[in-house]
């Protein structure tokens, strides 16, 4: 890939990553505020501006995404962000904490659906066309040069990256959102015991290792199904 094209693709990945992670964390922060924990709100994170989120996690939102893009030779970008919350509030209200945990991935799922609708509308209008093979930055093709061709990469990355964030964060292992979301199915007392269990640092380290090995086999069929649904009827 020519260097100029790689730079443009990197900027596209980075902007979509910033927006997607910002919406994810803003979802956590807003849900917590509505459910009685103003911690993230007081930190300025109930916002779609990436600046408060970057200030909290500059390494995960700036350095790691750029480094991962370079190391993957333009193949993908990864990183992380976080929103603060009151652990005492979460311990007292495990179901509320579970809803807060689900709010972040819900934001990512919303962006997947927005991207999917945009693709379907573009195909219906004749601007886009289905592809026999898809990639992270090309889930659909343009029928010709111009504006539609310029929207392929950002739209494709929006779809794929947010599907990755949605699935990855719902894995039920600490410290991912899916582990806290389990509390929505428990009684308050069982939820408190479960929450106390999750706070052990050792389980977070084991959880990250488990997520690393589990994600690929879990995501591949989900991604294939999502693309099939995207192209349903074509």
Question: What is the per-residue pLDDT across 192-211, written as a single tens digit (0 to 9) for each?
Answer: 887 777 777 666 777 778 78
pLDDT tens, position by position, 134-166: 999 999 999 988 899 999 999 999 999 999 999
- Residue 113: the pLDDT is 98
Number of domains comprising the chain:
1
Report the share of the chain in percent with pLDDT over 90: 71
Structural domain including 67 reads: 3-81+88-230
Please list the residues that pair with 142 across neighbouring strands: 128
Q: Which residue numbers in the chain have pLDDT < 50?
A: none
- Residue 193: the pLDDT is 84
């Amino acid at each position: 890939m020519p260097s100029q094209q790689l730079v443009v693709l990197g900027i596209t990945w980075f902007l979509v990553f910033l927006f997607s992670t910002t919406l994810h964390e803003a979802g956590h922060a807003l849900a917590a505020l509505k459910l009685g924990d103003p911690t993230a709100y007081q930190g300025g994170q109930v916002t779609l501006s990436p600046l408060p989120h970057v200030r909290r996690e500059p390494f995960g939102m700036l350095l790691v995404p750029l480094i991962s893009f370079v190391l993957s030779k333009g193949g993908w970008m990864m990183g992380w962000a976080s929103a603060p919350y009151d652990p005492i509030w979460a311990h007292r209200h495990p179901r509320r904490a579970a809803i807060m945990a689900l709010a972040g991935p819900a934001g990512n799922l919303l962006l997947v659906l927005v991207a999917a609708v945009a693709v379907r509308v573009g195909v219906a209008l004749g601007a886009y066309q289905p592809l026999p093979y898809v990639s992270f930055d090309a889930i659909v093709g343009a029928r010709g040069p111009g504006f539609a061709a310029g929207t392929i990469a950002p739209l494709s990355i929006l779809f794929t990256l947010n599907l990755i964030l949605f699935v990855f964060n719902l894995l039920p292992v600490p410290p991912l959102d899916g582990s806290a979301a389990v509390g929505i199915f428990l009684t308050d007392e069982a939820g408190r015991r479960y929450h106390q269990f999750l706070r052990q640092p050792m389980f977070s380290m084991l959880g990250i290792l488990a997520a690393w090995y589990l994600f690929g086999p879990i995501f591949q069929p989900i991604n294939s199904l999502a693309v099939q649904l995207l192209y349903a009827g074509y």
